[in-house]
Amino acid sequence: MLSLQTKGEDLMQPTEQQQPTATHETLSNELLLDMYRSMILVRHFDRRAVHLQRTGRLGTYAPLEGQEAAQVGCGYALDKRDWLFPTYREHGVSIVHGLPMSTIFLYWNGRPEGCVPPEGVNIFPVSVPIATQVPHAVGAAWASKLKGEDVVSVGFLGDGATSEGDFHEAMNFAGVFKLPVIIFCQNNGFAISVPLSKQTAVETLAEKAAGYGVEGVRVDGNDLLAVYETVKKAADKARRGEGPTFIEAVTYRYGSHTTADDHTRYREASEVEEWKAKDPIDRVKKILIERGVWSEEQDLAEWAKVDGDVQAAIDEMQATPSVAHDRLFDYAYAELPQDLIEQRDEVRRLYGNGGAK
């Protein structure tokens, strides 16, 4: 875990690979291997999703490559009964928490089925507006506290969302009522093209938590085990009724903010390569090889296995029946106004009854 006294501008540079800590040593090989396999799965899923978007089979997509340790470490530290409130980039933690990859693909394919998790998978739909999911997480945590449930809510956000009013209102409410909530910020250095230095004048995002009476913790978001330990500690604290935690996981996205963005216009290639040299997956792989429980041959076999798993999810998405175009008009109003009635009828004339195509 990194100290709150660390300079913000320094931490946004790649850190040296950390040696395994006591936490690394006490985690079983079985758990560490499971987490590592999940990181490989998440990365391959992400790369395939980008390819699908580029070939016209998905809509605009938000890549996460480079942030696997933050998401997988967080996911494993939580219980299945906990509630997640994601942004548009939480594919990794969602997979770990039980959301099928095919459901995630369906969401980015524009299907309403992509917003419906299976029964028992406690994840709210993707939130595209910035920071609006944080008050939702805090509200759910308040409900859990009032009902006496042993449940933690986790609201995810990026560094740019800490400039939004919803973030501040949620933090204040969480602090006042000492709610069982974790606000988990993946600080990847940029809010689209806006660097952290343009977002805030403070040295760290974590220190903002003190203004609301909330514990703030800053962690190396590219260290899988450091994230796991930090989130586990925050979740245990929340279950004991000791209130919320704001976690700033410092990480880096290798690609663009979304597939509609071009990160080469605002970042130097050398900066990206510096961070790739400290890749979170490579860091775990090194530990496993040093423990003698993993090999290059096993690594190649695992990448081949996840390719089949991801392809199966793609096949399931593509086998889902097309959505009628006129379904777009079903859920905005109880009674459609005249101008939308005319638009709906035009869609039906263009595409036939129901508008499926």
Provide mean pLDDT across the span 44-66.
97
Percent of the chain with pLDDT over 90: 87
Residue 56, CA atoms < 13 Å, CB-side half-sphere: 0
The pLDDT score that the predictor gives to residue 15 is: 43
pLDDT over threshold 50, residue 9: no
| CATH class, 8-320 region | alpha beta
Backbone φ, ψ for residue 276 (5° rounding):
-65, -30
pLDDT over threshold 70, residue 12: no
The pLDDT score that the predictor gives to residue 331 is: 85
103 token code pair: 């459901």
Global pTM value = 0.90
The residue from 257, 263, 283, 344 that is catalytic is 257
The pLDDT score that the predictor gives to residue 351 is: 87
Would residue 240 show up in a list of annotated catalytic residues for this protein?
Answer: no
Backbone φ, ψ for residue 114 (5° rounding):
-70, -10
Q: How confident is the model at residue 242 (pLDDT cuts 50, 70, 90)?
A: very high
Answer yes or no: are the C-beta atoms of 310 and 45 closer than 8 Å. yes
Report pLDDT digits (tens) over 127-162.
999 999 999 999 999 999 999 999 999 999 999 999
Q: Output the average pLDDT for the chain.
A: 92
Burial class (CB in 10 A: 0-12, 13-18, 19+), 205: buried
Report pLDDT digits (tens) over 169-199.
999 999 999 999 999 999 999 999 999 999 8
The residue from 57, 136, 266, 327 that is catalytic is 266
Answer yes or no: are the C-beta atoms of 195 and 13 closer than 8 Å. no
pLDDT over threshold 70, residue 14: no
Provide mean pLDDT across the span 268-272.
95
- If one compares 325 and 304, the residue with the highest pLDDT of the two is 304
The pLDDT score that the predictor gives to residue 130 is: 96
Would residue 257 show up in a list of annotated catalytic residues for this protein?
Answer: yes
Provide mean pLDDT across the span 278-301.
97
Q: How confident is the model at residue 25 (pLDDT cuts 50, 70, 90)?
A: low
Closest-CA residue to 201 (of 8, 13, 5, 14): 8
pLDDT over threshold 70, residue 21: no
pLDDT over threshold 60, residue 54: yes
The residue from 44, 48, 91, 253 that is catalytic is 253
152 token code pair: 């933690």
pLDDT over threshold 60, residue 42: yes
Would residue 266 show up in a list of annotated catalytic residues for this protein?
Answer: yes
- Domain residue limits, the chain: 8-320, 323-357
